[in-house]
Amino acid sequence: MTTILFRSGLRLFASLFGLLVLNTQCNASEWARDTDVVGVFFNEAHRTLQLNVISADKKDTTIMTLSPGEIGSTAIIEGEARVYTPSKSMTSGRLLSTCSVPNPTAAPGFFEKTTRTFYFRIVGETLKLVKPRDLTAAERRRLKAYKQQVQNG
Where does the pLDDT of residue 79 fall: very low under 50, low under 70, confident under 90, or very high at 90 and above?
A: very high
* pLDDT score of 42 more than 90: yes
Where does the pLDDT of residue 93 fall: very low under 50, low under 70, confident under 90, or very high at 90 and above?
A: confident
Average per-residue pLDDT in the chain?
A: 81
The contacts of residue 59 (CB under 8 Å, 6+ apart) are none
User: How many residues does this entry show for the chain?
Assistant: 153
* Helix, strand, coil distribution of the chain in percent, nearest 5: 30, 35, 35
pTM: 0.75
Where does the pLDDT of residue 34 fall: very low under 50, low under 70, confident under 90, or very high at 90 and above?
A: very low
Q: Name which of 5-14, 48-57, 87-96 the model is least confident about.
A: 5-14
pLDDT at 150: 85
pLDDT at 97: 96
Compare 149 and 17 and report the one with higher pLDDT: 149
- For 36-111, where are the alpha helices, taking DSSP H only? none
